[in-house]
Structure 1
Amino acid sequence: MWASGLWPVTLQASGITLRPLRMADRTEWMAVRARNREWLEPWEASNPQPGGTLPTFRDMVRSLTRQAREGSALPFVIALADPAARRAPIVGQLTVSSIVWGSALMATLGYWVDQEHAGRGIAPTAVALATDHCFRELGLHRMEINIRPENAPSLRVVEKLGFRYEGLRPRYLHINGAWADHESFALTAEEIPAEGLLGRWLASR
């Protein structure tokens, strides 16, 4: 199955590019993250194990690249077209993870966007672009997104795209130093319109 959707892959729509996260992105990625530390900190994953720490950028890229080659993840950066820039700047990250093949054909999607660019439709476009790719090119059947109930901007993304609410998952992930509840949203391939999730979203804007 994985051969039908070879990695690496680059996706583009409406001035937004999803391209593979690379080691060469370290300086720019770190700068964006540093600038958005307070904006992202409440939603950041943490390690609950005694003395546990999060991976370094190098370790993160190595792990995600290995997962991509194995067919269990799609680690993208979100880049925004800028006529004044030599290269489209990084404005966020989107990762399709926990891809399960066989009888499940499902995955989980997570994302973040630079606060400076929030509210401009970047996250919904990126999520729709990645979801369409997973359904149409990879043949997945289900995409799931889990969001903190307090994370209003992310909740608006799934609302705009028509993800179906499936319920609350108590203490689902360790976030910012504590086990945190998450609300679960999902779409299956049967719920995607003929024009695709991206087509429906762009037509609604």
Structure 2
Amino acid sequence: MRPFVFRSPRLGFLAADPALAAPAAAFYRRNRAAFAPFDPVQPEEFFTEAGQRERLAWELEQAEQGRCFRFLLVQPRHPGKIVGMVGLNEIVRGAFQSCFLSYKIDHTLWGRGYGSEAIDRATGWAFRTLHLHRVEANIMPRNLASRRAAAKAGYEEEGLAKHYLKINGVWEDHIHMVKRDEEEFHA
């Protein structure tokens, strides 16, 4: 079994690796319709093993440069099946020490707390390992389940960005949800 970078009670977090292209492609194909209302339009190649191999190679390169870290999520009792993804993206250092969070959970697991569990553990890893000060998730107002998952993981709403991201072909408003490393304030 591939070693986990870290774990939560129900999830193993695997580092992006081109060797995971087949299960990653299967994850995105299996969830394509469920994710469509909340995702940018992807080219057909994105849903293929070759497309995922290329993407995972790029993500591995980004991690080696400290720019972003993508983790593929598995349930430890089924380590060959990817059930989610969480990313710490666009890491900015200097005075900012921040990044953007992305996450997806297999639609068959929605409503069971896997999203908030993944968000919480990845954010904690960002604070402890990357020494970031702030992690920001941007969520469409109508995506109530995603907003609840982020809130359950300790994220607070900070404001609304109008026409922020092009999702499913439309410029959508997004709510900025943020979690700061509160321990840093007391150190």
- Range class of TM-score, shorter chain: 0.7 to 0.9
Match of 1:130 in 2: 122
Which structure 1 residue ranges, 4+ long, deviate > 2 Å from structure 2? Answer: 52-56
The structure whose residues are more often strand, as a share, is 2
Contact 1:124 1:160 in 2 (8 A): yes
- Find the aligned partners of 2:72 and 2:106 in 1 and give their Cα distance: 11
- Find the aligned partners of 2:75 and 2:80 in 1 and give their Cα distance: 5
Identity over aligned pairs, percent: 31
Deviation at 1:89, TM superposition (A): 2.4
Deviation at 1:88, TM superposition (A): 4.9
1:92 aligns with 2:84: yes
1:75 aligns with 2:62: no
Query: Cα RMSD between the aligned structures?
Result: 2.2
Helix, strand or coil: the match of 2:148? helix
- Find the aligned partners of 1:173 and 1:122 in 2 and give their Cα distance: 25
Contact 1:46 1:53 in 2 (8 A): no
1:112 aligns with 2:104: yes
Contact 1:36 1:115 in 2 (8 A): yes
Q: Write out per-residue CA displacement over residues 41-100 of structure 1, whole angstroms, 9 at most, x where no aligned residue.
A: 1111237xxxx8886323311221111111010110011122xx4x35210111110111
Aligned pairs for 1:43-58 within 5 A: 43-46=38-41, 56-58=51-53
What TM-score, normalized by structure 2, do the two folds share?
Answer: 0.87
Match of 1:181 in 2: 173
RCO (CA 8 Å, sep 6+): is it higher in 1 or 2? 1
What TM-score, normalized by structure 1, do the two folds share?
Answer: 0.80
State which of 56, 63, 72 in structure 2 corresponds to 1:61: 56
Helix, strand or coil: the match of 2:41? coil
Contact 1:164 1:186 in 2 (8 A): yes
